[in-house]
């Protein structure tokens, strides 16, 4: 990685202003900076959007997906036609929504954003979809939460560009068919298995699985975000954040912001040691496990003798939603090799027990022989 990624990048005028109020950490104390205006403070409120890449060239990682999308988009542009419908799936925080925004930007078109749970009735979908302009993108997040009645109306809309609406009830009911402008549906889900196969098959532009990032990619993302936040961060500190980021950009940016807060309040530089202190305070351990992950694993080890334990039993024992366990905790724990999903339930691994410093349950040791 080129070292200039780790250097501050501010316009000369900004640099001058900032120099007056910055300590050795390169971070401003907001209160001491009279020139920090409301607009800048508001920008901080919506930091996650500020950190989002706005061009494909800025988007780090997911190389295979980017390369496929580039071809799809260029071909669509050359034919002067909207790209075909696209589905992104994979764990939360990996950049599905960001990719949708980048596609809209690349196609120079508007994107209307909604989500599965927000479209409760067929009428909700009809109102969103009939308000699209030719070439627009409709982004539906959490598409696995669309109900079946809405899904059935979506099929012909995706396939033939028509909306079949039933008006009235009983014998007097009739169907009207509305022609839709050509549009692209981009959908995202963390739960591909919950999508019906007819819906999945209608994403004719491609179904793309986002992968966890490598530590090096996350390091680059942290360095880029630090630059945008105008926070000086050394290489060791960026590496430490990457190590504990669950290979997930959203988590990495969250940890960076919390470490920046810590350094600011302690009036110190954003060094590896400060990152370690800040993340220890948050309870994020050296492998990126949060207190809730550890609680989950320790419960399986100690309350359920290592498992297998069913998802609903685990959910009741932890007072945690099944969907949170499945979508937030499990993908990373499985990726680490700390948890296994078997047909009889969840099982903790020996590797997890070692990391947590808990005794390996007898049932696991027996399985080894
Ligand atoms: N911020 C969040 N995700 C990112 C990515 N994939 N590349 C660059 N910056 C990001």
The Cα 278–Cα 285 span in angstroms is 11
Mutation to probe ligand 1, out of 1, 46, 48, 52 (largest number of atoms < 8 A from CB): 52
4: confidence class by pLDDT, cuts 50, 70, 90: very low
39: confidence class by pLDDT, cuts 50, 70, 90: low
- Cβ–ligand 1 contact at 249 (below 6 Å): yes
The residue with greater pLDDT, 192 or 48, is: 192
User: What Cα–Cα distance (Å) separates residue 93 from each residue in 46, 112, 212, 247, 301?
Assistant: 16, 20, 9, 10, 28
| Tens digits of residue pLDDT in 212-259 | 999 999 999 999 999 999 999 999 999 999 999 999 999 999 999 999
| Tens digits of residue pLDDT in 156-185 | 999 999 999 888 888 999 988 999 999 999
Q: Is the preceding omega at residue 308 within 30 degrees of 0, hence cis?
A: yes
Which contiguous run of DSSP H or E holds residue 254?
A: helix 249-265
Q: In the predicted model, what is the mean pLDDT of the chain? A: 89
36: confidence class by pLDDT, cuts 50, 70, 90: low
Give the pLDDT score at 366: 65
pTM of the model: 0.85
Burial of 267 (0-12, 13-18, 19+ CB in 10 A): exposed
| Tens digits of residue pLDDT in 96-151 | 999 999 999 999 999 999 999 999 999 999 999 999 999 999 999 999 999 999 99
| Structure-block tokens of residue 364 | 């696991």
| Structure-block tokens of residue 367 | 């399985």
Instruction: Judge whether residue 48 has pLDDT over 70.
Output: yes
Buried residues in 335-351 as b, exposed as e (16+ CB within 10 A): ebebbeeeeebbbbbbe
- Cβ–ligand 1 contact at 53 (below 6 Å): yes
| Structure-block tokens of residue 88 | 């992104």
8 A C-beta contact, residue 267 and residue 23? yes
The Cα 73–Cα 219 span in angstroms is 29
What's the CA-to-centroid distance between 282 and ligand 1, angstroms?
23
- Cβ–ligand 1 contact at 143 (below 6 Å): no
Give the pLDDT score at 117: 96
8 A C-beta contact, residue 8 and residue 230? yes
8 A C-beta contact, residue 335 and residue 212? yes
8 A C-beta contact, residue 115 and residue 213? no
- Average pLDDT of the segment spanning 323-344: 95
Q: Strands, E, within the chain: which ranges?
A: 86-89, 111-115, 137-141, 162-167, 174-179, 184-189, 206-209, 339-342, 345-348
- Average pLDDT of the segment spanning 282-307: 97
Give the contacts of 276 (CB within 8 A, at least 6 positions apart). 240
Give the pLDDT score at 43: 56
| Tens digits of residue pLDDT in 299-333 | 999 999 999 999 999 999 999 999 999 999 999 99
What's the CA-to-centroid distance between 159 and ligand 1, angstroms?
32
8 A C-beta contact, residue 365 and residue 346? no
Q: What percent of the chain has pLDDT over 90?
A: 81
Residues annotated as part of the active site:
96-97, 141, 190, 250
Residue whose Cα lies nearest atom 1 of ligand 1: it is 52
40: confidence class by pLDDT, cuts 50, 70, 90: low
């Amino acid at each position: 990685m080129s070292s200039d990624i780790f250097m501050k990048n501010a316009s000369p005028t900004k640099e001058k202003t900032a120099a007056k109020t910055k300590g050795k950490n390169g971070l401003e104390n907001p209160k001491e900076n009279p020139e920090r205006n409301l607009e800048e403070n508001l920008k901080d409120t919506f930091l996650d959007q500020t950190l989002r890449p706005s061009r494909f060239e800025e988007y780090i990682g997911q190389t295979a997906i980017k390369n496929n999308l580039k071809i799809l988009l260029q071909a669509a542009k050359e034919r002067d036609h909207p790209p075909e419908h696209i589905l992104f799936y994979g764990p939360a925080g990996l950049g599905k929504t960001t990719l949708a925004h980048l596609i809209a930007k690349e196609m120079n078109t508007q994107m209307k954003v909604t989500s599965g749970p927000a479209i409760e009735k067929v009428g909700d979908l009809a109102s969103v979809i009939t308000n699209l302009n030719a070439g627009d993108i409709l982004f539906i997040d959490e598409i696995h939460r669309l109900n079946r009645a809405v899904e059935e109306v979506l099929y012909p809309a995706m396939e033939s560009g028509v909306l079949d609406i039933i008006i009235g009830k009983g014998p007097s009911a009739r169907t009207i068919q509305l022609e839709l402008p050509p549009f692209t549906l981009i959908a995202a889900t963390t739960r591909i298995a919950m999508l019906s196969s007819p819906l999945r098959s209608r994403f004719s532009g491609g179904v793309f699985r986002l992968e966890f990032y490598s530590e090096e990619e996350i390091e680059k993302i942290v360095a880029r975000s630090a630059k945008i936040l105008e926070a000086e961060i050394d290489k060791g500190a960026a590496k430490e954040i990457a190590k504990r980021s669950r290979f997930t950009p959203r988590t990495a940016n969250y940890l960076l912001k919390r470490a920046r807060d810590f350094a600011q309040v302690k009036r110190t530089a954003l060094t590896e040691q400060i990152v370690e202190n800040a993340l220890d305070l948050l309870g994020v351990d050296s492998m990126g496990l949060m207190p809730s992950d550890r609680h989950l694993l320790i419960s399986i080890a100690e309350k359920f003798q290592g498992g297998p334990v069913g998802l609903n039993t685990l959910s009741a024992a932890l007072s945690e939603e099944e969907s949170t366990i499945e979508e937030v905790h499990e993908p990373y724990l499985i990726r680490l090799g700390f948890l296994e999903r078997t047909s009889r339930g969840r099982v903790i691994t020996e590797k997890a027990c070692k990391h947590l410093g808990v005794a390996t349950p007898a049932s696991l040791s027996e399985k080894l022989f």
